[in-house]
Amino acid sequence: MNILVAEDEADIRNLLKVNLEENDYTVFAAENGLDAWDIIKAQEVNLAILDVMMPMLDGFNLLRKIREKSTIPVIFLTARADDMDKLLGLGMGADDYLVKPFSMKELIARVAAQLRRSNEYTLSKQQENNVIEYGRLRIDKEGCCVYKDGNPIGLNAKEYKLLLYMAENPERVFTKKQLYHAVWDEDLYYDDNTIMVHISHIRNKIEINPQEPEYIKTIRGIGYKFHTGETR
């Protein structure tokens, strides 16, 4: 994990760097806010430790710039035990706040806690992005599986790709030709009947009543669209 330490006091900056590196973190150190911002732009940083009172660009203004492009955890360090400063920092998007002098063990523990929370949040968002869910229907993109009411549905590869393509573009109307080229990836050849047969097979597997489909709607004279279905 990469950690940015922005601190104008050399002794504190070096102490932080040494202790973090002893705990297997990679540390980028900056002595002022502008140097810290350059590091943020150039490097992958997983967490930032910022001194509030820094030359050239203070911690509060640096945090504003960070929050314009990143949600990484930010821990403020300050020599002032002022509740208003703390509230201001947290209100601007800081994740934690330590008043100098502080225990190095406490700082290391807070760094680990913030990184753990950040990783859990990132994993949660990734899992959300890998799942499409509408009503009774759930598509697991990572496992290439489809479930109806929690039960797996047996789709072949083309049926799965066709359903996924439409579900990723809900309420968009596709012609049969567009669907064929998207799933079969053949620009020169096109078979209208192939799409109709596959749509029929998918409906038989995912719809309660294939004659009155809830999800894959026919748009007469144009093609098909994926409807989001009923919210249950």
How far apart (Å, rounded) are the C-alpha atoms in residues 180 and 196? 10
pLDDT digits (tens, 9 = 90+) for 180-221: 988 887 665 677 889 999 999 999 999 999 999 999 999 998
CA distances from 67 to 61, 72, 74, 135 (A): 10, 8, 10, 35
Spell 35-73 as b/e; 16+ CB within 10 A means b: bbbebbeeeebbbbbbbbbbeebbbbebbeebeeeeebb
SS3 of 190, please?
Answer: coil
Three-state SS at 89: helix
Rounded Cα distance, 89 and 102, in Å? 18
CATH class of 131-226: mainly alpha
Does the pTM exceed 0.85?
no
Q: Which two tokens stand for residue 230?
A: 């009923």
Q: Which residues contact 114 (CB under 8 A, 6 or more apart)?
A: 47, 73, 75, 95, 96
- pLDDT tens, residue by residue, 98-119: 888 889 999 999 999 999 888 7
CATH topology classification for 2-129: Rossmann fold (3.40.50)
Question: 145: closest CA among 135, 134, 157?
Answer: 157
Binned at pLDDT 50, 70 and 90, residue 231 comes out as very low
Domain boundaries, the chain: 2-129, 131-226
Q: For residue 43, which amino acid is it?
A: Q
